[in-house]
Structure 1
Amino acid sequence: MSAVDQRLARLSLNQRTTESWSVREAVEGCVRAGIPAIGLWREPVAEIGVAAAAKLVADAGLRVSSLCRGGFLTASGAAGRAALADNRHAIDEAAGLGTDCLVMVVGGLPPGSRDLRGARQRVADALAELAPYAGERGVRLALEPLHPMYCADRAVLSTLGQALDLAEQFPVERVGVVVDTFHLWWDPDVWRQISRAGQRIASFQVCDFLTPLPADVLLGRGMMGDGHIDFPPFRRAVEQAGYTGDTEVEIFNAEVWATDPDEVLATMKDRYVRLVLAD
């Protein structure tokens, strides 16, 4: 590898960053760009099947850094049982793709509910059922705390500390956490919690936090350098905690999605080297 290529050795494209690309197109794009890893999403994988997706990645010489996503575990009754079944399928898919990291967005409040404590308890109960199943298949459930603005509808875990309180109830090889700069950059306790996480860090994701946020706040993630986040302290913190895995760039942004994906990858590589790897 050249010096620049070597700096990309731990860079991964999260597939949602190039929303219009199929699995094949995303894999081929990574090869053209010299990006060695890809984070896949279940929906596009389902379009061609797990075996076909795994073969595409392997034949291209790439690795799968994670599978997104499992979770949404806060429902009860029949909906809760269906969620458990779907998560078992997601675990099987991750194993079939050759990744040990299944990203878990745990879910928000069920419709009409205000019982936040109860929703969090249902997440813990569901993990107690799913963690042994995941461990038997060599997959780790990676709990992703989301920014507090998503607490009601997407994730009742809002801080890394909350995610670790839950993860630490299980063996480290079965339940870990995701460190995502977009969701955690605001938290004054994040550095202590990253150090605490240590070997439980299962995934490190980067993108920027934009203001003003769009009407759909889900799409407020920006390319590194377009927002407010200082990335090198996060990179150094996860490395000091012992994380040696990939850095995924995951962006939900209508303007990025409307841009030629090859251009997006070129910008992503440049910003990663200049803004994430900077000392």
Structure 2
Amino acid sequence: MNRYSLNQATTKYWSLEDVVAASAKADLSWIGLWREPVQEYGVERSTKLVTDAGLRVSSLCRSGFFTSTDAAERQAKIEDNRRAIDEAAALGTDVLILVSGGLPSGSRDLDGARAMVRDGIAELAPYAQEAGVRLAIEPLHPMFCSDRCVVSSLGGALDLAEQFPVEQVGVVVDAYHLWWDADVYRQIERAGARICSYQVSDWVVPLPADTLLGRGMMGDGSIELRRLREACDAAGYDGPVEVEIFNQDLWNAPGQEVFDLALARYGEHVA
């Protein structure tokens, strides 16, 4: 259980102070943070809050979104990614989660979009290494390819990451996005030291109209979460395991209730 980390997105409407306090009270070691609430609270204040509670930040979500046909917009995205790297370093985490971005508006050029992602990472990777931060490419389920993430498989993420030194660029194994892939276990073995994070939730059906909010609590769906965790362990990953669930019903529930349920289900289905 010392690897457990609640990503604060799981209790979206709970304040940063509340989720930090609950994590400390439960004697946890880790917490996963998101840029928007951290920026709202203040990066320096957030760092002090987490540190004073005896916690460490398992990852900062999220940056990336490199895809645009407008050169000025692409450069603005690069600058925002630099700020994200600085925020991650200030928070004391060495993992910055990257979501690549979908197809540019009106475009069908998937290869071109993926080239934009590669070029963006190439521009940022040395800067990230200097800051002590690794860029962690997160492949998303193919249903998000057009609008959110043109990197849709762990193999595709590794094809990108392996163009850079391992200390600069790694990958995220998110069970929700990857469990369906017949090749996922071979790709986890291939990933090895490039695994920066293992994230868990569950795949429940039917999916809601807003598929982004389709993640379920561990144990409520179809994913062999412990098997995936064991595969990551066998590949050499021994870092935090983040519970990251986007689900409107859970967001609407009392934060402490969701916190307690997630911790219990992690023990039953992941640890």
Taking every aligned residue pair, what percent have the same amino acid on both sides?
Answer: 61
Residue deviations 1:32-71 (CA, integer Å, cap 9, x gap) = 2333211100000011211110100000000100000010
Residue deviations 1:175-198 (CA, integer Å, cap 9, x gap) = 000000000000000000000000
What stretches of structure 1 of length at least 5 have no aligned partner?
1-7
- The corresponding residue for 2:17 is 24
1:164 pairs, out of 155, 158, 171, with 158
- The corresponding residue for 1:183 is 177
Partner SS, residue 191 of structure 1: helix
Q: Verify: 1:125 aligned to 2:141, yes or no.
A: no
- The corresponding residue for 1:3 is none
1:255 pairs, out of 249, 254, 257, with 249
- The corresponding residue for 1:91 is 85
Partner SS, residue 59 of structure 2: strand
1:56 pairs, out of 36, 49, 54, with 49
- The corresponding residue for 2:191 is 197
Q: Verify: 1:13 aligned to 2:6, yes or no.
A: yes
- The corresponding residue for 2:216 is 222
Within 1, Cα distance between the matches of 2:267 and 2:190? 27
Residues 124-163 of structure 1: matches in 2 within 5 Å?
124-163=118-157
Partner SS, residue 58 of structure 1: helix
Q: Normalising by the residue count of structure 1, what TM-score does the alignment of the two structures yield? A: 0.95
Letter in 2 for 1:211: V
Letter in 2 for 1:118: G
- The corresponding residue for 2:99 is 105
- The corresponding residue for 2:269 is 275
- The corresponding residue for 2:59 is 66
Residue deviations 1:197-238 (CA, integer Å, cap 9, x gap) = 000000110000111000000000010011111111101100
Letter in 2 for 1:260: P
Residue deviations 1:11-35 (CA, integer Å, cap 9, x gap) = 0010100001222121012122333
Letter in 1 for 2:2: A
2:258 pairs, out of 248, 258, 264, with 264
Q: Verify: 1:234 aligned to 2:228, yes or no.
A: yes
Within 1, Cα distance between the matches of 2:3 and 2:203? 22
The alignment of Structure 1 onto Structure 2 pairs a total of residues equal to 270
- The corresponding residue for 1:244 is 238
Within 1, Cα distance between the matches of 2:15 and 2:107? 37
Within 2, Cα distance between the matches of 1:235 and 1:215? 29
Partner SS, residue 256 of structure 2: helix
Residue deviations 1:141-174 (CA, integer Å, cap 9, x gap) = 0000000000001100000000000000001011
Within 1, Cα distance between the matches of 2:225 and 2:126? 35
Within 2, Cα distance between the matches of 1:267 and 1:26? 14
Q: Normalising by the residue count of structure 2, what TM-score does the alignment of the two structures yield? A: 0.98
Could you tell me whether the CA contact under 8 Å between 1:33 and 1:266 is conserved in 2? no
Could you tell me whether the CA contact under 8 Å between 1:33 and 1:265 is conserved in 2? no
Residue deviations 1:61-110 (CA, integer Å, cap 9, x gap) = 00100000010001131110110000000000000000000000010001
Within 1, Cα distance between the matches of 2:216 and 2:241? 16
Within 2, Cα distance between the matches of 1:108 and 1:204? 22
Within 2, Cα distance between the matches of 1:250 and 1:48? 20
Partner SS, residue 178 of structure 1: strand
